[in-house]
């Protein structure tokens, strides 16, 4: 199905749990910020997804506000972007039931994130919540309720967006055309920022380790320390490379390239007379410190005014409901449910 609009519509989501890190910023948030205005953005803080692994209720409540403050601090403009919390728009949880009934179980068992996250919980069938398996179905609902043209995400989400497309196609086939098939937008550079302590693993909120990630609330000194300790290799060649043993240097150069907005050649020229990896780390740290500082400062200012944060999120939720609720009614009607007039709003 195609929808004609004057601006392309974008939908993406981010989990509120854990501290947002440089990978989230470079791989996702910065693209959302840069696309604002030109595109119609919907950005969702996915708290319902967060409870697919155990959460402390008080901590979850606090983390939703922290996530919102961080997105605003990083440049999300609530006038330009519909920024909202998933659980504030009931159509997401309700829609998940209908979509669960249409999604084949076999598709979910193939998801690598389910395999990884269930293994991290010990792999025990009797303690892992069913929601971890059906996680991608809720994600498909998130997306499909808004008929977006594009879903900008980091590399790790490719399989989930593919599933959302397949679910949309299945719905269209079974109940008649009703969903746009969304396109994953995965940037060519920075879609997979690696952990500084282990350049073979994606930088991730759920991986601990003091020197794994640069958090967006880290102090200048903490950022410098993490980057200074970044794992590299025993050589001294500063080059972009796909070789597994050069992954650490490649990751540092990628971060440098993104923080400076320079071309690969310009980046390499900057290090033409570097005296080894120490110089590389020093320069990378300088740019990351300068880039993160204003975000951190703005974040702490925003966190001082929780009433204003809640007000902005309520405006976002109202705008999101106006799109998602009629779409869900349409889904229900197509599937054979009578929709009472009172619900049509």
| Interface positions with ligand ATP (CB under 6 A) | 14-15, 18, 23-24, 27-28, 153-154, 156-157, 191-193, 202-206
Q: Is residue 83 a contact point for ligand LTN (CB under 6 A)?
A: no
Give dist(CA 70, CA 73) in Å, integer: 5
158 is a catalytic site residue: no
Cβ nearer to ligand ATP, comparing 202 with 228:
202
Q: What does 182 interact with, of ligand LTN, ligand ATP, none (CB < 5 to 8 A by kind)?
A: none
29/13 Cα distance (integer angstroms): 10
CA distances from 316 to 24, 43, 114 (A): 21, 9, 30
Beta bridge partners of 21: 215
- As measured in angstroms, the least distance from the Cβ of 178 to ligand ATP is 26
Per-residue burial over 196-233, b if 16 or more Cβ lie within 10 Å, else e, is bbbbeebbbbebeeebbbbbbbbeeebbbebbeebbbb
What's the CA gap between 48 and 214, in Å, rounded? 26
Question: With binding defined as CB under 6 A, does residue 49 bind ligand LTN?
Answer: yes
| Residue count (the chain) | 345
Select 313 or 328, whichever has its Cβ closest to ligand ATP.
Answer: 313
- Determine whether 282 is an active site residue: no
Q: How far is the CB of 155 from ligand ATP (least distance, A)?
A: 7
Residue 45 or 259 having the CB closest to ligand LTN? 45
**C-alpha 7, offset from chain centre:** 22
Question: Which residues between 106 and 165 bind ligand LTN (CB under 6 A)?
Answer: 139, 142-143, 151, 153, 157, 160
Nearest to ligand LTN of 139, 232 (CB atom):
139
Pairing of strands 183-185, 150-152: parallel
Rounded Cα gap, residues 237 and 155, in angstroms: 27
Catalytic residue of the set 8, 158, 202, 332: 202
How far is Cα 249 from Cα 258, in angstroms, rounded to an integer? 14
| Minimum distance of ligand LTN from residue 14's CB (angstroms) | 6
For residue 325, state whether it binds ligand LTN (rule: CB under 6 A): no
CB of 97 to ligand LTN, least distance (A): 17
**The one catalytic residue among 39, 205, 246, 327:** 205
Residue 185 binds which one of ligand LTN, ligand ATP, none, with CB within 5 to 8 A depending on kind?
none
Question: Total binding residues for ligand LTN by CB under 6 A?
Answer: 13
Partner from ligand LTN, ligand ATP, none binding residue 73, C-beta < 5-8 Å depending on class? none
Work out the angle between the directed axes of helices 277-303 and 247-260 (0-180°, nearest 10): 50
Q: How far is the CB of 260 from ligand ATP (least distance, A)?
A: 18
Phi, psi of 16 (to 5 degrees): -80, -15
d(CA 21, CA 31): 15
Catalytic residue flag (residue 202): yes
User: Which residues would be at the binding site for ligand LTN (CB under 6 A)?
Assistant: 11-13, 15, 46, 49, 139, 142-143, 151, 153, 157, 160
Active site residues: 117, 202, 205
């Amino acid at each position: 199905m195609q929808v004609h609009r004057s601006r392309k519509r974008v939908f993406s989501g981010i989990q509120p749990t854990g501290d947002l890190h440089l990978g989230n910023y470079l791989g996702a948030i910065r693209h959302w910020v840069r696309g604002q205005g030109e595109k119609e953005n919907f950005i969702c803080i996915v708290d319902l997804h967060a409870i697919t692994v155990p959460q402390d209720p008080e901590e979850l409540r606090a983390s939703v506000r922290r996530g919102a403050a961080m997105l605003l601090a990083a440049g999300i403009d609530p006038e330009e972007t519909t920024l909202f919390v998933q659980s504030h728009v009931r159509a997401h949880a309700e829609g998940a039931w209908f979509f669960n009934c249409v999604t084949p179980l076999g598709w979910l068992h193939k998801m690598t994130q389910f395999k990884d996250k269930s293994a991290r919980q010990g792999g025990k069938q009797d303690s892992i919540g069913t929601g971890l398996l059906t996680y991608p179905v809720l994600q498909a609902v998130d997306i499909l309720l808004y008929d977006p043209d594009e879903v900008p995400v980091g590399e790790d989400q490719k399989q989930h967006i593919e599933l959302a497309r397949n679910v949309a196609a299945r719905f269209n086939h079974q109940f008649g055309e009703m969903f746009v098939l969304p396109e994953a937008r995965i940037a060519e550079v920075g879609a997979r920022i690696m952990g500084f302590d282990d350049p073979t693993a994606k930088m991730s909120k759920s991986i601990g380790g003091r020197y794994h990630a640069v958090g967006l609330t880290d102090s200048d000194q903490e950022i410098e320390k993490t980057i200074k300790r970044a794992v590299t290799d025993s050589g001294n060649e500063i080059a972009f490379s796909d070789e597994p043993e050069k992954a650490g240097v490649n990751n540092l150069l990628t971060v440098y390239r993104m923080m400076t907005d320079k071309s690969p050649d310009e980046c390499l020229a900057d290090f033409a007379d570097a005296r080894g990896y120490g110089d590389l780390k020093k320069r990378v740290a300088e740019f990351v410190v300068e880039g993160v500082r204003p975000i951190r400062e703005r974040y702490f200012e925003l966190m001082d005014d929780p009433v204003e944060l809640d007000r902005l999120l309520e405006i976002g939720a109202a705008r999101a409901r106006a799109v998602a609720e009629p779409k869900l009614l349409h889904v229900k009607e197509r599937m054979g449910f009578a929709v009472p007039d009172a619900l049509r709003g």
